[in-house]
Amino acid sequence: MRLRLTPRDDSYYEMFADSANNLVIGARLLAELIGDGGDRDAIGEKMRACEHAGDERTHAIMRRLNGRSATPFDREDIYKLASSLDDVMDAMDAAVDLIGLYRLERLPKGIIDQVEVLERAAELTAEAMPRLRTMKDLARYWIEINQLENQADQIYRRLLAHLFDGGYDALTVMKLKDVVEELEAAADAFEHVANTVETIAVKKS
């Protein structure tokens, strides 16, 4: 039998893993929406449910954090990790929302590339969160996320140039730019998650 000396702290790991798993679901819904053009309303509703579930998880982490019981990492790092995971979801949800709100039918190919990067980043993040418990094997996670973010940046810049290349009227450019910027914000937020994991790992080392 293994004695748990700090049973209450353990659940932080589970809450972070949960939050990240929820991002995998969100990223897949996003891919579905911009992919073969499934039922947009149904996907939009699932995304909203996904975002609410994410909110619940974030609040649960914050509540526990305010409860002042012992924490496995510095409180400020737990706060940052939870906030950044939440930021990813908010940005992906906003992108889905805007695509519906603006009734965007034809999306430029580059947006599919953006979303593929987000899907991969979500999977890597979900795989990494449980490793916070042992602190093993995390470096390759944050290195890969940084590479993905660089890739996302390239795609984003190409998309911006493409939007202004004369193929779209000004109002359409404004709409697409809003969507593209939310997706870029999601990629940035994945990097913030990885940076915080790196900070936590460095402090523990």
Question: Under rule CB under 8 A, which residues in 61-90 are in contact with its own copies?
Answer: 62-63, 66-68
Tell whether residue 175 is a contact of its own copies (CB under 8 A): yes
Tell whether residue 160 is a contact of its own copies (CB under 8 A): yes
Tell whether residue 170 is a contact of its own copies (CB under 8 A): yes
Give the Cα separation of 143 and 8 in Å (integer): 31
CB of 177 to its own copies, least distance (A): 8
Tell whether residue 202 is a contact of its own copies (CB under 8 A): yes
Tell whether residue 203 is a contact of its own copies (CB under 8 A): yes
User: How far from 42 is each of 33, 102, 122, 153, CA to CA, in Å?
Assistant: 10, 17, 22, 30
Q: Are 98 and 179 in contact (CB under 8 A)?
A: yes
CB of 101 to its own copies, least distance (A): 5
* Cβ-Cβ contacts under 8 Å for 190 (sequence gap 6 or more): 84, 88, 118, 121, 122, 125, 145, 148, 149
Tell whether residue 161 is a contact of its own copies (CB under 8 A): yes
Q: Are 110 and 162 in contact (CB under 8 A)?
A: yes
Per CB under 8 A, the list member of 42, 49, 101, 112 interacting with its own copies is 101
Per CB under 8 A, the list member of 69, 150, 164, 167 interacting with its own copies is 164
Closest CA to 31 of 95, 84, 87, 90: 95
Q: What single letter denotes the amino acid at residue 177?
A: K
The pair of three-digit structure tokens given for residue 197, joined into one six-digit string:
């994991």
The pair of three-digit structure tokens given for residue 75, joined into one six-digit string:
């409180």
Tell whether residue 60 is a contact of its own copies (CB under 8 A): no
Per CB under 8 A, the list member of 8, 52, 140, 157 interacting with its own copies is 157
> Which residues of this chain interact with its own copies, rule CB under 8 A?
62-63, 66-68, 97, 101-102, 157, 160-161, 164, 169-171, 173-175, 177, 199, 202-203
